[in-house]
Structure 1
């Protein structure tokens, strides 16, 4: 054996420790959903699993969690579609149309600055604007807000993918008589499909998890899952186990999306638009 060959064991140990650090809070949260409030507060290590928390969250007459779940899916899907469409068009414009380089640089710098602003700092402004135009407590207002919040990230990602498409392919299509919309639809989009998928998944997850703006712009009928989870912390009682059960249920969409589309995320974020 070559003496310079390093053993993979230390690396595997480090990776296992990192994985345990990430997974431990998730396991604890899911396990707490199967415990009684007394068992959780007493810190019992061994406990008898119960289903009452999930039953209370899902089927109780006083619970709106399924409604909140539906709201999050509607807002997440529609805001993702809007955000990715606008980001793709913007990336194409910045990289392929004849803008001065300083315009693209200033625009991308502005999007980065906007992305660095905490959403909670914008919550009151979102509410004032939504109330002015009559969009408070509506899906439209929240969808527009989520799309705007995630747009900087989506623009940066899509700009990278569009930039890596060979210009020769577009020039050949233009020489064959293709218009700009046809070049975008038939030449560029098929090549950046992994990038579109990766951007869509990340945008959906960020929208699903967003709390501050959703809390400000929604009420009972339009509240999303993060807002519903926060309501388990009441004035005189914190329903820890029901909060844990609802948090465990809230993980499912993002987990399913990540497992199903994992290869698109890896391919899109590591390899770019084309090989």
Structure 2
């Protein structure tokens, strides 16, 4: 074996080792939480390694008399889905307007810069103002208020990402569709959207996950009836007791929608690429 081959082999092994370490650092905490969800509270606090798995934590989270996790789960599905669709629709149309209509270049750049700056603002700094605003207009502790807040929070990210995907679509494709007699709506539906499908799906998944995991604004704008999953998980930390194992079980259950969205998105991205490649 030559010296160059040995060097390449050493580099490959070092890269594999680094990737394995990165994977363990990423997956390790989730595996620890998943294992904790099958322990008793005593076994977890004692740091027991070998234990007999129990399902009472999931039973308590899903069917307990005092648990509201099932309702929180449905609330999160509704809020994340509606706010994602709203942010995607507005972001797509706004991005198309900025890049296809005859706006001055400085307007486009300033608007996209504002989107980046707003996306850097911590949501907790807006929670108090939104609480006062929605209470003043009669939407206190209402999911409509949270949907509007999440749409506002994640619209800049959707606008920025969708604008970057729109830049990659040649104008000539749309012009050819217009010459063939296609209307504006038909051009968007038959030409632009199929080509952009991978970007639309990946952006939608990101917006959905960010909305699903959002905590401080949801805590400020909801009550026991309208609370979302992150707020519901936090309620297991009570005044006299922190129910770690039930909190772990709820955390594992809360990860299911994100995993399903990623599985669905992976398949749909390939489908979107194929559809966009064929006129």
The reply to whether TM is greater than 0.5 is yes
| Structure-1 separation of matches of 2:151 and 2:4 | 51
| Structure-2 separation of matches of 1:257 and 1:190 | 19
Q: Residue in 1 aligned with 2:126?
A: 122
Name the CA shift for 1:56/1:23 in 2 (closer, same or farther; >3 Å). same
Uncovered stretches (5+) of structure 2, i.e. residues with no partner: none
Shift of 1:265: 6.3
Name the CA shift for 1:152/1:274 in 2 (closer, same or farther; >3 Å). farther
Name the CA shift for 1:16/1:263 in 2 (closer, same or farther; >3 Å). farther
| Structure-1 separation of matches of 2:181 and 2:101 | 17
Task: Please point out which of 38, 41, 50 is paired with 1:37.
Answer: 41
Does 1:182 pair with 2:183? no
Name the CA shift for 1:63/1:35 in 2 (closer, same or farther; >3 Å). same
Name the CA shift for 1:112/1:274 in 2 (closer, same or farther; >3 Å). farther
| Structure-2 separation of matches of 1:264 and 1:23 | 25
Partner SS, residue 4 of structure 2: coil
Query: Would you identify which runs of 4 or more consecutive aligned residues in structure 1 move more than 3 Å?
Result: 1-5, 263-268
| Structure-1 separation of matches of 2:212 and 2:17 | 33
Shift of 1:262: 2.7
Uncovered stretches (5+) of structure 1, i.e. residues with no partner: none
Q: Residue in 2 aligned with 1:98?
A: 102
TM-score normalised by structure 2 residue count: 0.92
Shift of 1:196: 0.6
How many residues align? The count is 272
Partner SS, residue 24 of structure 2: helix
More moved, 168-177 vs 84-93: 168-177
| Structure-2 separation of matches of 1:54 and 1:266 | 35
- Given that 1:195 and 1:264 are in contact with CA atoms closer than 8 Å, whether structure 2 keeps it comes out as no
| Structure-2 separation of matches of 1:266 and 1:26 | 28
Aligned pairs for 1:87-236 within 5 A: 87-236=91-240
Name the CA shift for 1:11/1:197 in 2 (closer, same or farther; >3 Å). same
Aligned pairs for 1:63-82 within 5 A: 63-82=67-86
TM-score normalised by structure 1 residue count: 0.94
CA offsets per residue over residues 150-175 of structure 1, 9 Å max, x none?
11111111001111111111111222
**What is the alpha-carbon root mean square deviation over aligned residues?**
2.0
Q: Residue in 2 aligned with 1:239?
A: 243
